[in-house]
Amino acid sequence: MFRRLILAALLLCLAACGRTPLQEQQAYVFGTRVEVLVVSEDPEQGRQAISAVLREFDRLHRAYHAWQASELTVLNAAIADGQPLDVKPELADFVREAQALAKQGDYLFDPGIGQLIKLWGFQADEFKAELPPPADIKAWLAGKPSIADLGIAGNTISSRNRKVALDFGGYLKGVALDRAAAILKQQGIHNALINIGGNIMALGSKQGKPWRVGIQHPRQPGPMATVTLADGEAIGTSGDYQRYFELDGKRYAHLLDPRSGYPADHTQAVTVLIPPGPKAGTLSDAASKPIFIAGPDHWREMAAKMGTGLVLRVARDDRVFVTEALKSRMEFIGQAPEITVVP
């Protein structure tokens, strides 16, 4: 979600000042715009590193697309047929990791709800402003499909529930961030910024200073605040303003609550900042979803379960809640909103 987190004015400065050798390339992958910026004294080294990253993004996108022919759709078809399937080790590992993340978030983030996502029309590049029949949602709820229904023996995946359909939309962008960071380091790049639709990871620094990125305002153009990112940190946002449609004055976003079968409508956006680690990118994508869906009464408890103490939540009524740890890192732009700081 490129609009959720934008690279702040620092990029214009980098380009204009000419003091830092910067290579930048954009592409459209994972249904969103991606941007890779690297700092390298050798322009050719920078271009080759970016190309390697974008090739990996394209491979992941094609291999695990949820509704176009892919390894994931083959697995989903086997699940629907009640048949086990031998898959590549990478896909088996992804399912294991996604299961662990879903369990950690009390299954509010559940990549096994692909049928529900399809019912709402979000497995498409363009959305129609129409609601699914309530009877269809009721039938889906009765089936109780979850990624927890999958069994993995080696590289063989089976399911005890034929209604499970995997959709890695809330997981794969984070995986791609971690892959990109590893590739850049292998290519000798140690200072870079990777942006996959608003999920951002920083490597190194910008001329010895931390990278600074903007947090998109969920209801206004431009960022509501900026925040610094240290080496290896990742930031991600789940918001109701990118993949959504409106009908009769009501907004229906893609962030679906598997308990009700309907979009969570109590929150505009949740941003999480994840400290450095081998899975920082993955967590920046997966952790924000259950915190968003948990809602006003339980988001702090869910943040603790997901292991993050740096969280910003914008409620449906525009109120802003931010943890003390993240507030100390942020600079609000323009007139600061009314903010509730929590421990």
Kindly report, residue by residue over 292-301, the tens digit of the pLDDT: 999 999 999 9
Mean pLDDT of 33-37: 96
Residue 312 bridge partners (DSSP)? 271, 322
Residue 238 bridge partners (DSSP)? 270
Q: How far apart are CA 319 and CA 59, in angstroms?
A: 40
Token code pair at residue 95: 């399912």
- Domains identified in the chain and CATH numbers: 5-62+171-342 (3.10.520.10), 71-159 (1.10.3980.10)
Q: Give the pLDDT of residue 282.
A: 98
Pinpoint the alpha helices (H) of the chain. Answer: 10-17, 43-63, 71-81, 89-104, 114-119, 134-143, 172-186, 280-286, 288-294, 299-305, 324-327
- Collapsing DSSP to helix, strand or coil, 48 comes out as helix
Q: How far apart are CA 151 and CA 158, in angstroms?
A: 5
Mean pLDDT of 122-128: 92
What residues contact 56, with CB distance under 8 A and at least 6 apart?
176, 179, 180, 183
Q: How far apart are CA 96 and CA 217, in angstroms?
A: 34
Q: Give the pLDDT of residue 3.
A: 42
pLDDT in tens, 234-263: 999 999 998 999 999 999 999 999 999 999
Pinpoint the alpha helices (H) of 64-124. Answer: 71-81, 89-104, 114-119
Sign, CA dihedral 74-78-79-80, equals positive
Above 50 in pLDDT, residue 14? no
> Per this entry, what is the length of the chain?
343
Above 90 in pLDDT, residue 95? yes
pTM (2 decimals)? 0.93
Token code pair at residue 110: 């559940």
Burial class, 101, CB count within 10 angstroms (exposed 0-12 / middle 13-18 / buried 19+): buried
More confident residue, 317 or 6: 317
- Lowest-confidence range among 9-18, 169-178, 275-284? 9-18
Mean pLDDT of 134-152: 98
pLDDT confidence band for 315 (50 / 70 / 90): very high
Q: Give the pLDDT of residue 4.
A: 41
Q: Give the pLDDT of residue 86.
A: 98
Q: How far apart are CA 160 and CA 289, in angstroms?
A: 25
Token code pair at residue 181: 């960071």
